[in-house]
Amino acid sequence: MERISRRVSEYLSSNPCAMDSLQSGIVNYSSLARYLMKQLKTQNFNAVLAAIKRYPERNPSLESAYKSALSESRIEAFYSITNLTVRNSVENFVKVSKIYEEIYGSGGKIRVVQGSQGIVVVIDRKNSQEVRKQFSADDVLSFRENLAELVVISPLIIEKLRGYVAYISTVLAINGINVYQVASFYNDVTYIMDEKYMDSAVKVISRLTSGKRVIS
């Protein structure tokens, strides 16, 4: 029994659609049990059914917590964004630091994220070409224009709310919005996407948030 219970739990935990339907109470237990019997190659209907019934108790849905946090969130939306990724090196990091000081100090738009493979610089369009000239062609890993940045600023409770970023990402995905990059720091969740998706993204996320927004 314990082995079946564990296998059912592992299957549901790795299949978000089935898990969400079960946690929301909108799935027929018997139908799901028969489906899982095929997937898990077992004939023990009663054991599978019992495991399914116990799953929501042991793994309660966090959707209400996600919606509560989003209802206290606000969004910032920025258009005409360029994404420049350069090779990770001390020399390039020094260059990026100086660029950040210049652009941020003059009131321009810039964000910097250092990954294991490269340094990502998110800048406004008016500064993009000048910044790109600071790096050799060999050091530029990626250069994409006509992007937009959506920032969801939430209460600090999200630091302990597992799955929060995944929840927002799923909402965007099922509404046909393709995200190019995503980053989460402190209580900000930042999505970079093609500009063509931005209006839809703002509408979709605004329905879930406090309605406060900054667009530029």
pLDDT in tens, 13-66: 888 778 778 877 788 899 999 999 999 999 999 999 999 988 888 877 788 899
If phi > 0 it is left, if psi is from -120 to 50 it is alpha, else beta; for residue 188 that is: beta
Q: Cα separation of 192 and 190, whole Å?
A: 7
Residue-level pLDDT at 16:
75
Interior angle at CA 88, CA 180 and CA 109, nearest 5? 55
Q: Is a pLDDT exceeding 90 seen at residue 149?
A: yes
Cβ contacts of 197 within 8 Å, gap of 6 or more: 148, 176, 177, 178
Domain span(s) for CATH 3.30.2130.10 in the chain: 69-215
Q: Which CATH class is domain 69-215?
A: alpha beta
Residue-level pLDDT at 160:
87
Residue-level pLDDT at 48:
92
Residue-level pLDDT at 2:
64
Closest CA to 179 of 212, 144, 147, 216: 147
Q: Is a pLDDT exceeding 80 seen at residue 216?
A: no
* Mean pLDDT (whole number) for 130-153: 94
* Mean pLDDT (whole number) for 184-195: 92
* Mean pLDDT (whole number) for 89-112: 92
pLDDT in tens, 154-185: 999 998 888 899 999 999 999 999 999 998 88
- Alpha carbon of residue 188 to chain centroid: 11
Instruction: Kindly report the pTM of this predicted structure.
Output: 0.77
Q: Is a pLDDT exceeding 80 seen at residue 73?
A: yes
* Mean pLDDT (whole number) for 91-104: 94
* Mean pLDDT (whole number) for 132-137: 94
Of the pLDDT bands very low, low, confident and very high (cuts 50, 70, 90), residue 213 is low
Residue-level pLDDT at 1:
52
Residue-level pLDDT at 164:
92
Residue-level pLDDT at 212:
66
Asked whether the beta carbons of 66 and 161 are under 8 A apart, the reply is: yes
Q: Cα separation of 8 and 207, whole Å?
A: 35
Write out the two tokens for 50.
């019992």
Residue-level pLDDT at 59:
78
- Alpha carbon of residue 105 to chain centroid: 29
